Structure 1
């Protein structure tokens, strides 16, 4: 929704409330503005108000949520339930705008909106890597103790909360997350490897005698490589930036050297040389054809791999946490996921918080888990009998999620990611030694974090 659309919507609501616009005209104009018929009907009902509503002349205050892309109608269900319950009692109505499939398109829209200091979207969905960037620009509202106390936050997965935290403040609320998983062929490897050395040795034992490849993962020069790299790095106890100071670069460490050296050693041995062209879907294609003993991928691959219409390995595999190395005793998945934040220029920040709070309620989180298989952030969902009956995978995910960590939290994440991609990829392609690649990455990152 652009500024002109929001202005037109607000004008329609005002006229409807004052009786200067018919229902038919309202629906026609809503279609022109770009609202779906269901969203327009819901908003129309809210314009009629109720005796319980708190908005002007007995009608609801309308707020707009720009979400990430959802093809399951789960977000619509969450919005409709809120509008008919909490929203109705508090005089708040949420209009939901479904996001584009391309995250970059939505980021461009947000940049334009905030630079215009616009309030066209009261609530926005943010990818996990962007809360710090938006916080540094003061585009979003910090979520303080009075809104969401620490006693409540402890009930949620801590990795996503860390990803939404910058300079000691929380700038978005994590609705759902994502995480890297280790897939293994239980018919070839009875128990999952605990360490990266175990994985390497088990992969060598399985390939090429039993299966074509030992291990497939995401080695192409893109964001997926950042996730794969930090998972190995975290598993060895290393880091990219100081967790408490995003301007302090920590990448050039013995732990990072161990991690990158190991990854470079996989290329052309337990992993195909072409792994440096692999994305998630290419890795999955090799895995589904029964050509790999191990695979690193996201939870979406679990259902696909168990589908006999597209996979040759249904019921022949299982998932595990990612391994650890060196002196570390636990592995760490990199998290993805989406979070909700409040526009700093919104005229309805308190009303917006009421809806944001609802998205992390047990009811909304359960809808996300059951209806869309979203790996939501409320920990109790992973023990919920109804959820486990519909999504048995969730029973396996909880212990893995509890150790998951965000990618480097930085207001300059785009440039941080670019530096990691370029230098790690050079090492994987043998165009730079691991030690030289890390030294250059350290230099590049120092330039990034110190730039104005």
Structure 2
């Protein structure tokens, strides 16, 4: 069942309300209903189109067309921003990485939504928070995400719970079996920001407060995180080639049997179980040695959409319980409905669900800052310098520079 757009929201949308930004242009067409587009990252599992087809068959006058953006969140953001800055109506529904909500809301590129229109009380609480900015709901959670530690069950008796245990096991396995130890996403992009943030969290710290208004990076945890990564590279249980890895490269390295451990998101699980995978039947997943960074994707409505009512009804359909089940079973993406993580049938099919639920509930949200992209660039660039061969950059110098540059960015807000 699809809920119509509440009258209050319809009036708000028709008035062109965009929150803290300003909006020019003709505005939505009368009634706000008609064909729409859905702009989101590349569908690597081919699960999206069947869900769109189901909507289109039931709504022949309000069909949705898929616009696939690049796979990396950084590149998705760049294309969306270019479109929205031009006040283009090409995109109606936007699949936003959770880091983008605050920026897009603050810029007036998306419209606020009425909370009562969506069953948010049945979603994982930390996930809902990623869609809220300055007390308003700006998007609807569609997928969640938390990093997991993939490990070889034929090489590991008991998975590591701490960074020191991970190091010891990786070194032992590398020596005994001539296999690379561990890799995450260490290329200088958002993935490095996430991996480094998790290393800091494993050391008991955090780089920024949840609102992104204050630097909380104590030198101790930051220096520990830098030193641990440098040590792994010097000792070669973190291979140098991992400095070029994004999610796909690290997934393939583990799936092809070249790694004993890998940090990755849950969608990497499905391909590793497929026929032809070198680790099929020989791996499992567990929580990272420390809190993960919370990931995921939210659905928002462009402030320049001509059909915002259809867009909201489509979002309601797309985030429904039935479709959330398909998001998991057909796309291998973590759903946002809490009850799906406790479903015995799904747990049998996806044994990692209990660990993933724990990881999501314990995960740290990335700062809800309109300047998040700039903050992330500062983190990734400084850490990349520290991890460049020969890995001798002073951890204390890097920590001091990182804190100073983050503070400088916050002063400009």
TM bracket, shorter-chain basis: 0.7 to 0.9
Tell me the alpha carbon deviations over residues 350-380 of structure 1, each in whole angstroms, 9 at most, x when there is no partner.
Answer: 4432221222211121222222222221122
TM-score relative to the length of structure 2 = 0.81
**What is the aligned partner in structure 2 of residue 302 from structure 1?**
269
Say whether residues 1:66 and 2:38 are aligned partners. yes
- SS of match in other structure, 1:411: coil
Say whether residues 1:76 and 2:49 are aligned partners. yes
With over 3 angstroms needed to count, the CA separation of the structure-2 counterparts of 1:363 and 1:280, relative to structure 1, is closer
Say whether residues 1:234 and 2:201 are aligned partners. yes
Say whether residues 1:267 and 2:253 are aligned partners. no
Note the C-alpha offset of 1:262. 2.0
With over 3 angstroms needed to count, the CA separation of the structure-2 counterparts of 1:102 and 1:281, relative to structure 1, is closer
**Alignment partners' CA distance in 2, 1:134 and 1:372:** 26
**What is the aligned partner in structure 2 of residue 322 from structure 1?**
288
Say whether residues 1:407 and 2:377 are aligned partners. no
**What is the aligned partner in structure 2 of residue 382 from structure 1?**
341
**Alignment partners' CA distance in 2, 1:293 and 1:109:** 36
Q: In the alignment, which of 115, 136, 154 is matched to residue 187 of structure 1? A: 154
1:238/1:253 contact within 8 Å kept:
no
**What is the aligned partner in structure 2 of residue 139 from structure 1?**
109
Structure with the greater alpha carbon radius of gyration: 1
**Alignment partners' CA distance in 2, 1:138 and 1:231:** 31
**What is the aligned partner in structure 2 of residue 251 from structure 1?**
217
**Alignment partners' CA distance in 1, 2:392 and 2:62:** 56
With over 3 angstroms needed to count, the CA separation of the structure-2 counterparts of 1:115 and 1:288, relative to structure 1, is closer
Say whether residues 1:96 and 2:65 are aligned partners. yes
With over 3 angstroms needed to count, the CA separation of the structure-2 counterparts of 1:421 and 1:350, relative to structure 1, is same
With over 3 angstroms needed to count, the CA separation of the structure-2 counterparts of 1:382 and 1:66, relative to structure 1, is same
TM-score relative to the length of structure 1 = 0.74
Note the C-alpha offset of 1:73. 5.1
1:187/1:317 contact within 8 Å kept:
yes
Q: In the alignment, which of 286, 289, 292 is matched to residue 333 of structure 1? A: 292
Note the C-alpha offset of 1:420. 0.9
2:171/2:181 contact within 8 Å kept:
yes
**What is the aligned partner in structure 2 of residue 127 from structure 1?**
97
Note the C-alpha offset of 1:175. 0.6
1:267/1:275 contact within 8 Å kept:
no
Moved more, 441-450 or 380-389: 380-389
**Alignment partners' CA distance in 1, 2:75 and 2:225:** 34
- SS of match in other structure, 1:134: helix
**What is the aligned partner in structure 1 of residue 164 from structure 2?**
197
1:219/1:278 contact within 8 Å kept:
yes
1:63/1:122 contact within 8 Å kept:
no
Identify unmatched segments of 5+ residues in structure 2. 1-29
- SS of match in other structure, 2:330: helix
Q: How many residues align?
A: 379
Note the C-alpha offset of 1:115. 2.6
1:211/1:293 contact within 8 Å kept:
no
